[in-house]
Structure formats: C-alpha cells, structure tokens
C-alpha cells in the first residue's frame, strides 16, 4: 500500500509543476480588451446581440449599467460571472423586456477579468474588466 501511494505522489508532483508553469508562462500578459473610464456604463441589446463585447469598471467600486433592450418581445438581461462556466456569479440583472430600459446597480467587483452575458441567450456575452 505504502509504495503505491508514494509512487502516485511522485507522478502527481511533476504534473502539478508542469501545469503551473504552463499557466504562468504560457499566457503572455495580454492587454485588456477595454479599460475602465467611468462608473456609469452603457450597454444595448439589439437583434440578439450586445453592442459591446467588453465592459470595464474600476475595481471595488459600485457602478451602474444603463441597459437598453431594443428587441421587441425578447427579454434580455446582463449578468456577470467569474468565467463562461457561470458557476460563480457576481451580479445578475433582472430581465428587461424589449423595447425597454433598465439601470442596473452593481456592487464593486474585485480586480480581474470576468465574463458577462445575457442569461437567456448565452451567445450574447463578453469580457468584463474590473481594474
């Protein structure tokens, strides 16, 4: 039993080290797709698309998203998650019936590069930069 266990550990450690170095070295510091300019953001949904694929807000500061939905009879929203898996939610705006407008008040996000989408139409999505 003991030999099997230590053997496993010997295999695991190099694998973890390899994974870490790929993670750290393999991704060049990519310039953010957009950068924060204001705590008042705007976003429009039209023809089942957002007009932006990148939103940005200062980290750790509450902000608003002035959301316009121009699609008649198609509800859209804006939700912000850690990543595209949508497992960790930062914010989920109520659905906005179209045509209509709604201002979302969003609590400050930690610094990082996150993900936003429309929940009913997950192909409507983009990058959210908090920095």
Q: Which residues bind Cu ion (CB under 5 A)?
A: 76, 118, 120-121
- Report the half-sphere exposure of 119 (CA within 13 A, side-chain side): 15
Closest CB to Cu ion among residues 56, 96: 96
Closest CB to Cu ion among residues 43, 56: 43
Q: What's the closest the beta carbon of residue 45 comes to Cu ion, in angstroms?
A: 6
Q: What's the closest the beta carbon of residue 15 comes to Cu ion, in angstroms?
A: 40
Distances (CA, A) of 78 to 32, 51, 66, 115, 125: 20, 12, 10, 10, 9
Q: What's the closest the beta carbon of residue 76 comes to Cu ion, in angstroms?
A: 3
Compute φ and ψ for 113, nearest 5 degrees. Answer: -110, 115
Q: What's the closest the beta carbon of residue 20 comes to Cu ion, in angstroms?
A: 37
Closest CB to Cu ion among residues 51, 60: 51
- Cα 39–chain centre separation: 17
- DSSP letter at 33 equals S
Closest CB to Cu ion among residues 79, 106: 79
């Amino acid at each position: 039993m003991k030999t099997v266990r230590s053997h496993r550990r010997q295999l695991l450690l190099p694998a973890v080290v390899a994974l870490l170095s790929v993670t750290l070295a393999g991704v060049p510091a990519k310039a953010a797709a957009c950068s924060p300019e204001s705590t008042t953001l705007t976003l429009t949904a039209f023809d089942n698309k957002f007009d932006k694929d990148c939103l940005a807000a200062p980290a750790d500061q509450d902000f608003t998203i002035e959301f316009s939905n121009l699609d008649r009879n198609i509800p859209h929203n804006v939700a912000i998650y850690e990543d595209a898996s949508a497992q960790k939610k930062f914010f989920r705006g109520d659905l906005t019936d179209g045509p209509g407008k709604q201002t979302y008040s969003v609590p400050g996000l930690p610094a990082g590069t996150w993900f936003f989408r429309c929940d009913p139409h997950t192909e409507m999505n983009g990058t959210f930069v908090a920095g």
